[in-house]
Amino acid sequence: MAGFNDVPLIQNLAVPTVCLLIAFLSYFSQYIFHRSTLDPGPPSRTESVVFNALLLCLWLAYFRSVTIDPGRYVFPGKVIESDSRWCRKCEAPKPPRAHHCRHCGQCIPKMDHHCPWTRNCVSMTTFPHFLRFLVYSNLSLWALGRLLWQRFYALWEARHLPAYLGPSLQALIALALTSLICLFTTLALGVMLVTTLRAWLFNCTMIEGWELERHEAVVDRDGRDWWDITQPDGEKVRFERIEFPYDIGLFANMSQAMGTSNPLLWFFPFAGNPHVGTDGRGVGWNWEENGFNRKEGMWPPLDPEKIRRAARPWPASHGHDRARLPYEDLSLEEQKRAFKQRQEEDARRRKSLLAELEEVDDYDFVDDVNDSNDARGRDSGGAPGWMNSDGERLQDYGVDEEAEDAEAEDLHDEDMPLGELLRRRRVVSRDDAA
């Protein structure tokens, strides 16, 4: 899946291609069975009814996987600041388990990944339909595989008969082509089904699995349970081993993901899906934790490498928004001079960055985890970011890494234009006056 979301051809043709594949395997195969001379003849009435019923469920589940909104957060009023996680792209708070999707352009509740074959995010609202789609796809493929196997077995039983007594060459070619496509599709969707079932049972999304693997790599590399890290604001935080908090039990995990505790509705094709709460609380805003950590809200784990990079003393760093408020009282000429000075400081900052990128220190844990990364947690192309054992980064799941890095490094205003800081100050002032 890595990289498929960035291929323009797949972005435009993914859904039509999936529809053509389903139609080919579903209806061309039945045409062969009914119109060719292949033994043992057309499928029975029961076989046809079961196969077409599975196809109907498959079409419905895929349609809803593509068309259902992946979920969005609606805030009661204009949000200026937040004490919790903050998305700089949405300019709004980011609830737990949410990530900003660079394809959907918004924060997605309980984002699993952005699926290139549905052109939609697998999220809290679409996961039930995506799981049903995979279940009905695999059941349909297994039913088709059984019908194909019956015809191959009949050919094997009649292998000693003269060729002119067997099926036509066109029928044999069609049977072989359909069987090969069915085989490769079954293997691909089988892997997807196993991966999705694992995420369902353990209540762990693909993104959270990536974060968990990175966290284990950091802990195992150092060999200690915790150490102190200094944040950009000078505050020290304790880095420690964190258990995945959202695995709350097998049945509870499955019920939470499907939006109901009634198992009869989990795979019912017309069943619904969870909806994001509209009051800032409830489903999608807060998630039950298992209590294995010393307190709630510790996920996602800290990334020491990003915090260390953010804590370096940049020449242009002057603190948070309120430390820059005196700029608002300056005259226009003074503001221009201040802005020019800031540009010069940014130039020195870039030079300092280039020099520091060549350093290697004791935090270079990435080499021991993935040989394709260099010593600074960057991939072979030089882009920052940790890769898991499969060579995947967060962007391969559709996550906007720029938004994630800004949040992790707590760069509130070091890279923010002066005009934006002044605009925010005016907004805050108007709200205070009101």
Catalytic residues: 115
User: What does DSSP assign to residue 390?
Assistant: T
Nearest to 97, CA basis, from 217, 241, 203, 196: 203
**Token output for 348:** 């020195």
**Token output for 68:** 């259902």
* CA distance to 67, 113, 118, 187, per residue, from 1 (Å): 20, 10, 12, 14
- One-letter amino acid for residue 99 of the chain: H
User: What does DSSP assign to residue 25?
Assistant: I
Taking residue 123's Cβ as centre, other Cβ atoms within 10 Å add up to: 30
Taking residue 20's Cβ as centre, other Cβ atoms within 10 Å add up to: 11
User: What does DSSP assign to residue 396?
Assistant: G
Residue that is written with structure tokens 């043709």 in the block: 13
**Token output for 417:** 């234009």
Residue that is written with structure tokens 């960035």 in the block: 6
Q: Where are the beta strands (DSSP E) in 27-180?
A: 86-87, 92-93, 99-101, 106-108, 113-115, 120-122
Residue that is written with structure tokens 């799941």 in the block: 397
Q: Are strands 226-230 and 236-240 parallel, antiparallel or unpaired?
A: antiparallel
User: What does DSSP assign to residue 44?
Assistant: P
**Token output for 83:** 């004490």
**Token output for 157:** 């039983």
Nearest to 404, CA basis, from 391, 419, 394: 394
97: left (phi over 0), alpha (psi -120 to 50) or beta: left
Residue that is written with structure tokens 């899946």 in the block: 1
Residues 291, 294, 297, CA angle at the centre, nearest 5°?
70
Residue that is written with structure tokens 């805050």 in the block: 428
**Token output for 18:** 């999936």
Nearest to 303, CA basis, from 206, 369, 216: 216
Taking residue 322's Cβ as centre, other Cβ atoms within 10 Å add up to: 11
